[in-house]
């Protein structure tokens, strides 16, 4: 039976600078700075261990248009490992590493096949079968046209695989590049679609598999959870795929319910328990910890408010190899209020609750930020859920301040 196996990965963003994280302890920052390379090495090891027929990289191999020499050298080395095992690589460039960028060109090893800037078909061949792979590389950063329309199936292959670095229409506001709809991909009647661009992995379709593999390493607090690649097998009778982790540092978020804790010490113990729960062997974890429903007395609470709790927890982790570093500690004191009662009693609260339910005013408040020429290049738009959370947080913050000042 004809059978082909391959690894699908995307959005390596090699040598991501990890902006704004330099304040971390040196060993943690170093691990983070190396993390894109480390996860890439893991990916290559998986490809070799599984003895796949080839590797697909669906764009954004490098983080920036200037492709650091360091990133290119490391990329080259990993590719040579695959060359020794006779594993070819099929890759496209995405919006982050488009062909026009200004960079010192290091030649690609012979086993790496890069698609040109018009959709084209490249062949993989062995003694038993032929696979047709289709793709294109970004000639420049902004490709807004529907490149999918130029993908043409070429008969004669045993399997057909599409590679596309682009935006799934309707999914988010995330850079609307080379947009496509699901029906566009399905119409092509390929056996697999290897997608790149969106960093959160997603299976858009089961049959044929249409998959965003996500990035191989999270690069900021928004890119939480497990990161990796897909190991795929296609046969004449069907297909299977499996997600495999590659990340070396995990970004995570955790909530602790502190309503039962009566002392500072009990909260500290709860935090330590949470830390052990997320700790990963051989990996680092960057954790946002949210301690909710705090009911401590003012004296017991002081150590949380003045930063001592965070300091203790960080101090315990800073020299560990498999660290859990809390980069943000939020705490919420349990304050209860009756919305209906307060609203009826006072016009002020009535107005406040009404405002916090109207999300439209947020657009106005944020418009300066979103129209700022530099800022807008780096930030995504807010979803309805994001807005709701923002409004709720604002209401909570206000209520805490108001109720606190009433008590004092």
11 vs 247 by CB, closer to Mn ion: 11
Stretch that binds Mn ion, among 60-68, 261-269, 320-328, 363-371 (CB under 5 A): 60-68
* Comparison of 11 and 191: residue with beta carbon closer to Mn ion: 11
Taking CB under 5 A as the binding criterion, the range among 6-14, 246-254, 294-302, 395-403 that sits at the site for Mn ion is 6-14
CA-based torsion, 194, 200, 205, 206: positive or negative = positive
Tell whether residue 15 is a contact of Mn ion (CB under 5 A).
no
Does 78 participate in binding Mn ion (rule CB under 5 A)? Answer: no
Q: What is the contact mask toward Mn ion in residues 40 to 59, using x (rule: CB under 5 A)?
A: --------------------
Cβ atoms of residues 278 and 316 within 8 Å: no
Secondary structure of residue 355 in the 3-state scheme: helix
Strands 210-212 and 192-196: parallel
- Using CB under 5 A as the binding criterion, the count of chain residues that bind Mn ion stands at 2
Q: DSSP state, 150?
A: G
Counting contacts by CB under 5 A, is residue 11 touching Mn ion?
yes
**Residues 292, 285: Cα–Cα separation, whole Å:** 21
Residue 369 CA to residue 347 CA, distance in Å, equals 31
Query: Could you say which of 15, 38, 53, 60 contacts Mn ion (CB under 5 A)?
Result: 60
State which residue has the least CB distance to Mn ion: 60
Q: Is it true that the peptide bond before 159 is cis, omega within 30 degrees of 0?
A: no
Burial of residue 346 (number of CB atoms within 10 Å: 0-12, 13-18, 19+):
exposed
| Beta carbon of residue 94, minimum distance to Mn ion (angstroms, whole number) | 6
What torsion do the CA atoms of 356, 358, 363, 364 make, to the nearest 10 degrees? -80
Is residue 38 a contact residue for Mn ion (CB under 5 A)? no
Nearer to Mn ion, 53 or 60 (CB): 60
Shortest Å, Cβ 217 to Mn ion:
12
Binding footprint of Mn ion on the chain (CB under 5 A) = 11, 60
């Amino acid at each position: 039976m004809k059978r082909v196996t391959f690894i699908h990965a995307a959005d390596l963003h090699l040598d991501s600078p990890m902006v704004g994280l330099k304040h971390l302890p040196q060993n943690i920052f170093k691990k983070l700075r190396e993390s894109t390379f480390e996860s890439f090495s893991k990916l290559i090891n998986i490809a070799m261990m599984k003895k796949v027929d080839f590797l697909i990289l669906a764009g954004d191999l490098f983080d920036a248009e200037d492709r650091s020499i360091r990133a290119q050298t490391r990329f080259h080395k990993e590719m040579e490992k695959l060359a020794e095992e006779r594993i070819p690589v099929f890759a496209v460039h995405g919006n982050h590493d488009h062909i026009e960028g200004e960079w010192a060109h290091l030649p690609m090893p012979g086993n790496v096949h890069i698609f040109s800037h018009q959709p084209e078909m490249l062949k993989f061949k062995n003694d038993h079968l032929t696979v047709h792979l289709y793709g294109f590389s970004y000639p420049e950063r902004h490709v807004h046209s529907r490149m999918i329309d130029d993908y043409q199936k070429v008969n004669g292959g045993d399997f057909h695989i599409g590679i596309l670095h682009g935006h799934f229409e309707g999914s988010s506001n995330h850079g609307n590049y080379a947009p496509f709809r699901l029906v566009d991909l399905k119409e092509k009647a390929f056996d697999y679609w290897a997608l790149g661009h969106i960093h959160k992995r997603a299976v858009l379709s089961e049959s044929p598999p249409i998959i965003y593999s996500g990035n191989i390493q999270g690069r900021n607090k928004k890119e939480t959870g497990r990161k990796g690649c897909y190991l795929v097998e296609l046969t004449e009778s069907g297909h299977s795929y499996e997600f495999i982790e590659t990340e070396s540092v995990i970004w995570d978020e955790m909530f602790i319910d502190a309503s039962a804790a009566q002392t500072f010490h009990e909260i500290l113990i709860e935090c330590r328990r949470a830390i052990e729960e997320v700790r990963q062997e051989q990996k680092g974890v960057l954790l946002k910890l949210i301690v909710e429903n705090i009911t401590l007395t003012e004296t017991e609470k002081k150590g949380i408010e003045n930063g001592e709790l965070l300091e203790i927890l960080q101090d315990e982790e800073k020299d560990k190899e498999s660290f859990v570093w809390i980069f943000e500690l939020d705490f919420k004191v349990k304050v209860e209020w009756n919305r209906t009662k307060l609203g009826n009693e006072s016009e002020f609260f009535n107005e406040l609750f009404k405002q916090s339910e109207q999300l439209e005013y947020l657009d106005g408040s944020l418009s300066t930020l979103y129209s700022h020429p530099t800022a807008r290049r780096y930030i995504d738009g807010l979803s309805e859920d994001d807005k709701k959370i923002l409004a709720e947080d604002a209401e909570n913050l206000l209520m805490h301040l108001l109720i606190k000042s009433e008590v004092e």
